[in-house]
Amino acid sequence: MKLRTVILAGTAMAFASSAALATDLTLVSWGGAYQASQKNAYTDPYMKENPDINVIWDESSAEAVAKLRAMNEAGNVTWDLVDVVASDAIRLCDEGLAIEIDPATDLAAAPDGTSAADDFGDLLVSECFIPQIVYSTTFGYRSDVEEWGGKEPSNICDVFDLETFPGKRSLEKRPINNVEWALLCDGVPKEEVYNVLETEEGLARALAKLDTIKDNVVWWSAGAETPQLLADKEVVIGSTYNGRLFALIEEQKQPVKMLWDAQVFDLDGWIIPAGLPEDRLAATKKLVKYATDTQRLADQAKFISYGPARKSSAPLVGKHATLGIDMAPHMPTDPNNAKNTFLYNYEWWADYRDDIDAKFQAWLTQ
């Protein structure tokens, strides 16, 4: 009897002490410079203030949707906070794989008292989505192409102009953004793009426009490909995320320039997986409230050229942490860059993605 008591007491103490030691939280992101910026701006300071929290990083965001579904089916969710793009967040929310967020209680208000809901504004595109950054998909071009005779592209439709700007282009191997750009350059007004795309003729029109450059396109599926292709002179113009082009231009000093025209804004942010146990959910909510407050989002811009998702963070954006250059002019949201932007319609794509993607892939293989 005595021995048993001792063992029980010992076990209980071991549990108690391990609980007091640290809570492990698994955060999932995209790896690379982006994940590093999150670590520097959010979790390192948070762990300093909360020594009982230990953050573990996972670089699986690219497969997050499928993995979360698999975890959910297996009934064993091991991730606590997952970084996904907005369209994936909508999908996860629809599938019931992410929990809904109440901005009033789960997110921090701005320093001036503006509520989180107002501070994020319409960037809260899904009930489950906590935005972090605004990034844009836009074009970069080489500034040293001899055949161009000194001319440089300034308009999105120059991408489709093989006569003035000969050479290969790189485009993403999926319909999103490409079909919108094609319609814009086929004379469809910005606000009409999705209405036109909704019809079969509209999509056919977009693909026909893309057909004009199809033979000169290298299709990419990973964001790092376009910078590499530009650096290798394999392509002369290519679309990718603006942060990748920033690194290519400012850090690797390649003769490449940004074509901000008709850049497509997109959002990246957190979701909290459904099915977390109470204690981990509480710890995750506390972390995410801190990580998405005004100062933290502004801090992130020191490390990477993506715009903070809160309006209140914009004035706080400073200089790059190592390059020492002013980051504001490199933000996609900077007024100089955002003269002509295109609004990506999440809701519309959630509806039409499957159908258009099938047709787009069939078109690609033809």
Partner 1 sequence: MSDTTQDGQVLTTQDGKPLKAALAKALRREKLRALMLIAPLLIFVLITFVAPIVDMLFRSVENGIVSETLPETVVALREWDPASGEAPDEAVFVALYNDMVIAVAEKTHTRLGSRLNYEQSGISSLFRKTGRRIKRMDEGGPFKDQFLSADKKWGDVATWQVLQQFSPSYTDGYFLNAFDAKRGAEGIELKPADERIYMFLFGRTLFLSIVITVSCLLLGYPIAFLLAALPLRTSNLLMILVLLPFWTSLLVRTSAWKVLLQQQGVINDFLVWANIISDSGRLVMINNQTGTIIAMTHILLPFMILPLYSVMKTISPTYVRAAKSLGANDWTAFWRVYFPQSVPGIGAGAVLVFILSIGYYITPELVGGTSGIFISNRIAYHISSSLNWGLAASLGTLLLVAVLVLFVVYDKIVGIDNVKLG
Cα-flanking dihedrals φ and ψ of residue 64, to 5°? Answer: -60, -40
Nearest Cα residue to 140 out of 33, 242, 251, 252? 242
Q: Which of 93, 125, 182, 327 binds partner 1 (CB under 8 A)?
A: 93
Q: Which of 14, 66, 117, 282 binds partner 1 (CB under 8 A)?
A: 66
The SS3 of residue 240 is strand
Determine if 364 is a binding residue for partner 1 (CB under 8 A). yes
* Residue 224, CA atoms < 13 Å, CB-side half-sphere: 5
Nearer to partner 1, 96 or 329 (CB): 96
Paired tokens of 171: 């485009």
Determine if 142 is a binding residue for partner 1 (CB under 8 A). no
Distance CA 99, CA 96 (A): 7
The SS3 of residue 229 is helix
Distance CA 290, CA 48 (A): 13
Residue span binding partner 1 (CB under 8 A) among the ranges 18-26, 78-86, 265-273, 345-353: 345-353
Going from the C-alpha of 319 to that of each of 133, 299, 303, 312, the distances in angstroms are 17, 10, 9, 17
Determine if 357 is a binding residue for partner 1 (CB under 8 A). yes
Encoded one letter per residue, x for contact with partner 1 by CB under 8 A and - for no contact, window 146-185 reads ----------------------x----x------------
Q: Closest separation between CB of residue 158 and partner 1, Å?
A: 22
Nearer to partner 1, 54 or 228 (CB): 228
Residue 171 CB: number of other CB atoms within 10 A?
24
Nearer to partner 1, 72 or 333 (CB): 72
Distance CA 140, CA 239 (A): 6
Residue span binding partner 1 (CB under 8 A) among the ranges 6-14, 48-56, 88-96, 292-300: 88-96
Paired tokens of 162: 């093989």
Q: Closest separation between CB of residue 36 and partner 1, Å?
A: 19
Distance CA 152, CA 144 (A): 9
CA angle 102, 312, 296 (to 5 degrees): 75
Q: Closest separation between CB of residue 221 and partner 1, Å?
A: 6
Q: Closest separation between CB of residue 172 and partner 1, Å?
A: 12
Nearer to partner 1, 197 or 245 (CB): 197
Q: Which of 10, 96, 111, 187 binds partner 1 (CB under 8 A)?
A: 96
Q: Closest separation between CB of residue 358 and partner 1, Å?
A: 6
Q: Which of 102, 211, 326, 355 binds partner 1 (CB under 8 A)?
A: 355
Nearer to partner 1, 62 or 157 (CB): 62
Q: Which of 25, 41, 55, 65 binds partner 1 (CB under 8 A)?
A: 65
Residues 31-50 that bind partner 1 (CB under 8 A): none
Determine if 94 is a binding residue for partner 1 (CB under 8 A). yes
Determine if 58 is a binding residue for partner 1 (CB under 8 A). no
Number of residues engaging partner 1 in binding (CB under 8 A): 37
Residues 187-246 that bind partner 1 (CB under 8 A): 204, 218-219, 221, 228, 232-234
Q: Closest separation between CB of residue 343 and partner 1, Å?
A: 17
Paired tokens of 20: 């007091």
Which DSSP symbol is given to 160?
G
Nearer to partner 1, 34 or 346 (CB): 346
Distance CA 309, CA 65 (A): 22
Distance CA 132, CA 303 (A): 14
Paired tokens of 40: 């520097």
Paired tokens of 66: 């499928």
Q: Which of 44, 59, 95, 211 binds partner 1 (CB under 8 A)?
A: 95
Sign of the Cα torsion 318, 321, 326, 329 reads negative
Paired tokens of 1: 């009897």
User: Interface with partner 1 by CB under 8 A: which residues?
Assistant: 62-63, 65-66, 69, 91, 93-96, 168, 173, 204, 218-219, 221, 228, 232-234, 347-348, 350-359, 361-365
